[in-house]
Amino acid sequence: MENYGLDITRLRAWSGYYANDAKVRASASGGGATAIAEAFIKNKSGFVFGAAFTRDFKDVVYKCIETREELSLLKGSKYVYSTKKESVPGGKETIFSIIEDKLKHGKSVLMIGLGCDIGALNLYLHRKRADIANLYTVELICNGPTYKEVQRQYIENIEKMYCAKVINFSMRYKKCGWTPFYIYAELDNGQKHIRTFYDSDYGYAFQNYKLRKCYNCQFRGEKHPADLALGDCWGMKLGMENFCKNGVSAFIAKTQKGVELVEDIDTLQFCLKEANVSSVIKNNPMYCNTAVDNGQWKKFDAIFKSKGLRTAVVQTKRAQACKAVNDWKNKEVVLWGIGKCFSENLPKVKEICGVRYICDNDESRKKSVDLQGMVYIPPHDLRRLKNIFVILMFENISYAFQVVRQLIDMGIFDFDIVYNWLQYADNTN
């Protein structure tokens, strides 16, 4: 496969979502992880290991789940690195040793985690010479988590703001459907804290302050360690077969065990359809690419460790804004989004800068406008361009945030929404 060096003939892919709308809305995407885990417990009487928030929501730890009723603990995305220990009588035991013990006693085990978690488990069991015939693994297509201290401080900052304790928390609350992502916190005094994820302190830390090892991830492309990879089925839109406005999961099976996990899903409850592997991977660039350091990590790290999350976000954002004022002048400008906003603002944009490329998720839209010498480029080809600045031509904030996610997944961090950009660009031209 071009650009990725993958032998996709060895892979299979599917898209899917729960037929029950409430289940989809409670899941990060289409509910794929829950569907797999439910089937695993039902069909194999197996144990499921996955990440869950602690009771105070200030940390993320791995849990061993034995019943379908307990699976709600694992629901939702956790954009923070998780602890690999579990409290047991007499102290704490690593999740890996618990899994080893269950396999030793002939139990079926499903591990759901990040690629590095699965890789570490595989290495541990290999060194222990464990029999892994009953081990099944699912990795989440990952952009790289941030640090646990970010989670703790974010929750504590919310509690200070509302003078109350957080009793419910979600990283991908579906206020308006699949996108944009919202952070949702419910407090014990009845108040609710709702913020668009990428506008929050947490979202900023997630973009700019990942684990250092994530910028050189060893578990991408041909090196995926799990039987099955699971993520959002980006690229799906209204009118497509198997589309759901509240989220669709993507499945990429690497082994026969991965295929087995998908084929065991209850299709009376879950809408499942085999998909084109190339298309699914193209729309999930983090299946093959690593996170890109946008140059803010060291600055953020120093302020975060000395003054905390809020100050680190404020000061790093301020420095970024100052840099952005002139940054676009030295870059190739790309306009993303062809529609009403594009038509209305194109003359203003072209008064300020030259535009060479336009982009849209729907290639057919280029026929509706006068390109005026600009070149259309499909989204997945943007990563080929060097030194670009992307202006998002959207009025609808939901569309804008979906594109923001695509850009971040491609390692592109120099972008702005047209109305914001016009405010500072016009004043500095």
In the chain, domain spans: 9-145+210-287, 331-428
Residue 86 is predicted with a pLDDT of 65
Question: pLDDT, tens digit, for every residue of 357-367?
Answer: 999 988 888 88
Question: pLDDT, tens digit, for every residue of 244-262?
Answer: 999 999 999 999 999 999 9
Prior bond of 89 cis (ω within 30°): no
Residue 427 is predicted with a pLDDT of 53
Query: Above 50 in pLDDT, residue 3?
Result: no
Least confident of 86-90, 300-304, 335-339: 86-90
Give the three-class secondary structure for 163: coil
Distance CA 120, CA 118 (A): 5
Q: What is the CA radius of gyration of the chain?
A: 22
pLDDT mean over 30-57 = 96
Amino acid at residue number 419: Y
CATH class of 331-428: alpha beta
The two structure tokens encoding residue 299? 């600055």
Residue 412 is predicted with a pLDDT of 86
Contact 393, 416 (CB under 8 A): no
Give the model's confidence band at 354: pLDDT under 50 very low, under 70 low, under 90 confident, else very high.
confident
pLDDT mean over 44-52 = 95
Give the three-class secondary structure for 126: helix
C-alpha angle with apex 264: 227 to 285, nearest 5 degrees? 40
**Alpha-carbon torsion 193, 194, 199, 201, what sign?**
positive
Query: Above 70 in pLDDT, residue 1?
Result: no
**Alpha-carbon torsion 30, 33, 38, 39, what sign?**
positive
Residue 398 is predicted with a pLDDT of 61
Query: Above 80 in pLDDT, residue 424?
Result: no
Residue 426 is predicted with a pLDDT of 59
**Smallest Cα–Cα separation from 103: which of 71, 129, 140, 73?**
129
Residue that is written with structure tokens 């693994």 in the block: 137
